[in-house]
Chain A
Amino acid sequence: MSDVKKFMYLNRRAPYGTIYAWESLEVVLIGAAFDQEVSLMFVDDGVFQLVKGSDTSESDMKNFTPTYRTLGDYGVRHMYVDKASLEARGLTQDDLIEVAWEDWETEEEVDNIVEILDSKEIAKKLEESDVVFSF
Chain B
Amino acid sequence: MPIEANGKVFETDEEGYLANINEWEPAVAEAMAKEDDLELTDEHWDIINFLREYYEEYQIAPAVRVLTKAVGKKLGKEKGNSKYLYGLFPYGPGKQACRYAGLPKPTGCV
Contact = CB atoms under 8 A, between A and B. Distances in A.
B65 interface: yes
Interface residues of B, number: 15
A30 B58 contact: no
Contacts of B70: 73
A70 B69 contact: no
A26 interface: yes
A29 B63 contact: yes
Nearest to B108: A30
Interface residues of A, number: 14
B60 to A, nearest CB: 5
A135 interface: no
Contact of B107 (A29, A62, A63): A29
Contact of B63 (A62, A66, A67, A74): A74
B90 interface: no
Contacts of A62: 59
Contacts of B54: 70
B57 interface: yes
Contacts of A66: 57-59
A74 B57 contact: no
Given A73-B69, A104-B73, A67 B60 contact: yes
A30 B57 CA distance: 19
Contact of A33 (B59, B69, B73, B108): B108
Interface in B54-82: 54, 57-60, 62-63, 65-66, 69-70, 72-73
A64 interface: yes
Interface string A28-63: 011001000000000000000000000000000011
Interface of A: 26, 29-30, 33, 62-64, 66-67, 69-70, 73-74, 104
Given A73-B70, A104-B73, 5 more contacts: A33-B63, A69-B58, A70-B54, A70-B60, A70-B62
16 contacts: A26-B107, A26-B108, A29-B63, A29-B107, A30-B108, A62-B59, A63-B59, A66-B58, A67-B59, A67-B60, A70-B66, A73-B66, A73-B69, A73-B70, A74-B63, A74-B66
